[in-house]
Structures are given as C-alpha cells and as structure tokens.
A and B are shown apart, each in its own frame.
Chain A
C-alpha cells in the first residue's frame, strides 16, 4: 500500500511550480535574481566610493574657508606632476613597493617550493598554519613587535652585542620600513606561489630529468616558468598593499613620506580632500598598469 502512495506523483504548490518553471525556462532570470543583492552591495559600497574619489579629485578647495568647491579643474593633478617633492614621494613609494615585492618573492619561492614539493603532508599543514597565523594577529601588534626587535635596545642589537658586533640602528629608518613591509605581506606572496608550485605535475619534473636536466636546470626551465604566474599573482598583493599603506612608515619609518602618508595628512591635517583624492588616484593608476602587465603573464589564471 505504502509503495503505491509513494509512486503517485506528489502534488506541488501551484505558485512555486510556476516560478520554478519560469526559472527553468529563463536561466538568465535565475542568475539575475541570485546575484542582484551582492551586486548592488558591491556597486554601492565599492564602486561608488571609488567614483566619488575620482570626482572629488577634479574639485578644488577654498583657500580661506577650506571648504570644498565643486569647480571642475585639473589643478590637483597639475600640482602633483609639477612639484618635485610629490614626484619624489611617488618614486620612493613605487621603489619601496617594488623592493618589498622582490624581497618577498625571493623569500617566498624557496619556502613555497619546500611546502609544495618536498615537505610531508604533516609538515605542510604545520607550515601552512605558521604562514597564516600572523594574519590573525593585529596589524599594529605585528609592527610593534618589530619595533621591539629593531629598537636601539631591542632584540637585534642585544643579539649583535652578544656576538661582539657593533649595534645597528635600524629602527626609524627606511630600512626598517622595508623589513616590516616585507614581513607583513609575505603570506600574500607565499600562498599563490605555493598554489602554482603545487599545480606543476611531478611527471613534468621527471620528464625533464629523464631528458638529461639536473635539478637546477629543471627548476629553471620547467618549474620556475610554470610557477611564475603564481609569483606574479602574489606580487599584485605585495605591490599594491605596500603602495597604499601609511601606518608602517609612521610607526617605524624615519620620517620620510610615502604616498599614503601624504594622502593621510591632506585629509586629516590640511583638510584638502580634493588633493588627497587626486594623489590617491596615483597608486590606482600604477596598479592598473601593473595589472595589465600581470594579465599578460597569466597571473589571473594562477589565482
């Protein structure tokens, strides 16, 4: 008896069926309904604020009242391009971002290589935790930890003294900024590099060795080119994060300004939001160029 009942087609609610069949007939409708809320959120919060920034950059400020005037002009950009100070700051920031990226790539590659291709499953898990764990700690706490290390009476000098070496005054210099940036963004380089290295099939490495290539040759000819998109993907993070950061230079830098610091002081101190907006467009422009280059190198397939 029960079998009989189960076999009979179930009667469904009329309205629900109509909507379901409508979705089935028009697949795009389903996608639209599904994506509308997050898409709206993205447009309002993310894109709109960027557009606002772009618009503000073309406005001016009243020199007496320091009020924003909606007068369309290119003065802000002209000021950035004509003032050597600003160009120097931009140059310094880009150089720092590049230096941090290269440093991170140099540290991350061997580390990720070991993680992806040599370490056992267990060690791999431990290393993964070690890489990700610092990301759970506060950014400020991590920078402060480095102040404790690099300080005049910090761990670094204490260790140097123990070996009888002269003390190094690293804290509050650009070198300290470089070290701390490299440390803070390192996980963002390791993870995509690891992912790319793990995807290089072992049989390709074996094939190269079968054809006569030694370890280093195989690394250079096979593994490195195939993992390069992952490194470039990681560099997108390290480069852009360094380009926009202003906290680390303030906390541990030697008073030299980076783009982020100038933007910050123009909003907070000078209250010149249009100029800050124009200056903020600079890293966005640089990143746009960087991303085009990265796409050419296949970095987006590696993400």
Chain B
C-alpha cells in the first residue's frame, strides 16, 4: 500500500523519516513512495505531522533519521534552494514589494533564465491561472482567491519534480474552495507535475487525489485510493476521520457500516432478503440540506447514524423522531477493522 505503482517511476521516496522537536515527536518513522505525475494527498487532523512531513520534503526541516529521495537522487542533506521542489504556502507568502509578474518570475530570475524565456513562461503561467491581465498588480491589490492562484503560478512556473501544497485552499470560503479544487486538479493534469498536497479536509482529499495517505500522531494509518480509504478503512481512526463511521461489535468482530449504506425501514416494511436487520429508536433528526441524518439508538445500546437523501417533501423527516425503526444493511457493505490496532 505504501509503495507506488511499480510500473511507474517514483518522483519522491520517503524512507524511515523521523523528526521530533524536543520531547514532541512530529513525524514518527514514515515510509512513502509517490509516483511521477501523481496527485498525492497527506490527510490528517492538526498535529498529525502532515505539515512537518511536507516541510521535510521541501528541506525547511532536517530529519533526525531517514532518507528523502527526489527523482532517484538522495536530497536528505540538500538545502531547499537546491531541491527540485516548489511550495505553495498556506499563507501564500507572496513578496509584497514585487508585482504579480515579478513574484512569478522570481524563481526563474534566481536561476538565471533569460529575460525573454522568463517573460514567455510568466505569461503562460498567468494564463494557466487565468490572471492574464493582473501581472502588474501588487499582491495586496488582489483577492484571496487571486493570491492563491499567484502562489500556485509562482511555484508551477519552475516546473519542479514535485510540487508541495500546504493547505493552499484553507483560507478561502467554501464556494471558492470547491471551485479551486476542480481547477487545481485540472492544472495538475495539464502540467503533469507530481503534487503532494496537505489538507485536513477529507472531502478535499477524496475529490482531488489519486492516492491519499491518512496520518495520525506522526504516522501513516493507511495509504490508498480515495475509494479504498473510504470504503475499506484499515483502522478505526481512518474510518472515523473520513466520513461518519458507525463502529459495531458483533460476535467479537469490530466492523464499520457507512451511514449511506444503511436503509431505514418504515413500520411494516419487509426486510429485503440477505440483509442484516437491527431495530432501534430514532433519537435525533439532523437536517443538512441535501440529506437528513438520523441518529438511531439500537436496542443493544450503540448509536448508529443513517443518512437519507431528501427526496421527499419538506418536513417529512420529523415524523421519524422518537419513533422505533428498523435498520438494514448488507454484510458486503460493512468493513471489518484491523484487529491489531
């Protein structure tokens, strides 16, 4: 799971990397292989070590142990200015005393790219992020979304081996964030650069990534495609962090049932054949717009969350509140949790 596709070339290898700050262990031994051209996401709550890992890859921090390889070259002790990575910072870190075009051109200027070539590439980068006419502006004359695009253009224009993105959409509002998710993904496909993307937003991770590494306490809990980590979470932490997890123990086996996989049977409705049925009482009805969440207390004491699309008319949901219901699911849709953890 940790390894990439053997048929593809590895853009980035992280081998046994550790980093602590005094007594605090930020990254506790991580192995990771990211393929060339892959959109790879580090997903985890704050304090899980994902940003530290990104900073280790960029070279802003030095690992206490382990190795980092970029395009097959050991860069563990190479300073950031000599690494073939570029970073999109969380606060964008645009140079306030330079224009948008100067910001984007800075990396090329430092690397002595000719003026003509520089101008051409900056223009292309501006087109890519759809800011063609704003090259002359200062960063403080731009909106948050525009600044985000400049930060992206400034990094992509250098065509690095790996592009590192540290919660780049964190400061944007929901609508803009969703738009930018799609745009980022498109840009990534277009330029074909390997992206390593840090986020705590599970929806963002699932929407954009080719593969996701779920992190907790400085370690990787699971690496896999979005479908894998959602449908077959390896640990209870992964199950709980990505989506709502309903963990049940039956006959000594711990397993997860996703809320959308549960069918709520109305009174008298016969249970479909082959489904597991348990009865309980609706304790809470939570309207969330597109769907409604029902918190059901099972007769055996546990709570389960079931989700229903709001296909019915308004106000329909309340009739379930406090009423006995039966919940049904297919055994195939449940997932047994790793007993070792």
Contact = CB atoms under 8 A, between A and B. Distances in A.
B86 A210 contact: yes
Given A208-B106, A226-B97, A214 B89 contact: no
A217 interface: yes
B25 to A, nearest CB: 23
Given A209-B81, A213-B81, A203 B110 contact: no
Nearest to B80: A209
B110 A217 contact: yes
Contacts of B93: 201, 203-204, 206-207
A50 interface: no
Interface in B23-54: none
Interface string A208-229: 1111111001000110011000
B243 interface: no
A226 B93 CA distance: 13
Interface string B75-87: 0000111100111
Contacts of B155: 210
Contacts, number: 55
B95 A203 contact: no
B96 A226 contact: yes
Given A211-B154, A213-B81, A206 B60 contact: yes
B87 A207 contact: yes
Contacts of A217: 110
Nearest to A200: B96
A51 B89 CA distance: 54
Interface residues of B, number: 23
A237 to B, nearest CB: 24
Contacts of A210: 58, 60, 80-81, 85-87, 155
A212 B81 contact: yes
Interface string B284-328: 000000000000000000000000000000000000000000000
B60 A211 contact: no
Contacts of A208: 95, 106
Interface string A172-216: 000000000000000000000000000001011011111111100
A211 B85 contact: no
B167 to A, nearest CB: 13
Contact of A225 (B79, B97, B111): B97
A203 B81 contact: no
B295 to A, nearest CB: 37
A225 B97 CA distance: 8
Contacts of B80: 206, 209-210
A209 B80 CA distance: 6
Nearest to B91: A203
Interface residues of A, number: 17
A94 B95 CA distance: 35
Contacts of A212: 81-82, 107, 110-111, 158
A34 to B, nearest CB: 33
A196 to B, nearest CB: 12
A212 B108 CA distance: 9
Contacts of B158: 211-212
A209 B79 contact: yes
Contacts of B60: 206, 209-210
A121 to B, nearest CB: 15
A214 B87 CA distance: 16
A226 B58 CA distance: 24
A204 B89 CA distance: 9
B30 to A, nearest CB: 21
Contact of B106 (A203, A206, A211, A225): A211
A208 B110 CA distance: 9
A211 B156 CA distance: 11
Contacts of A207: 87, 89, 93-95
A262 B95 CA distance: 48
A211 B107 CA distance: 5
Contacts of A209: 60, 79-81
Contacts of A211: 81, 86, 106-107, 110, 154, 158
Interface string B49-81: 000000000101000000000000000000111
Contacts of B81: 209-214
A204 B60 CA distance: 12
Contacts of B95: 204, 207-208, 221-222
Nearest to B84: A212
Interface string B129-173: 000000000000000000000000011001000000000000000
Interface string A243-275: 000000000000000000000000000000000
Contacts of B107: 211-212
Nearest to A213: B110
Interface of A: 201, 203-204, 206-214, 217, 221-222, 225-226
22 contacts: A201-B93, A203-B89, A204-B95, A206-B89, A207-B94, A208-B95, A210-B58, A210-B80, A211-B86, A211-B106, A211-B110, A212-B81, A212-B82, A212-B107, A212-B110, A212-B111, A212-B158, A213-B81, A213-B106, A213-B110, A214-B81, A226-B96
Given A211-B107, A211-B158, 4 more contacts: A204-B95, A210-B81, A212-B81, A212-B82
Task: Give me the 6 closest cross-chain CB pairs, A-B, nearest first.
Answer: A211-B107, A207-B93, A203-B93, A212-B110, A209-B80, A210-B87
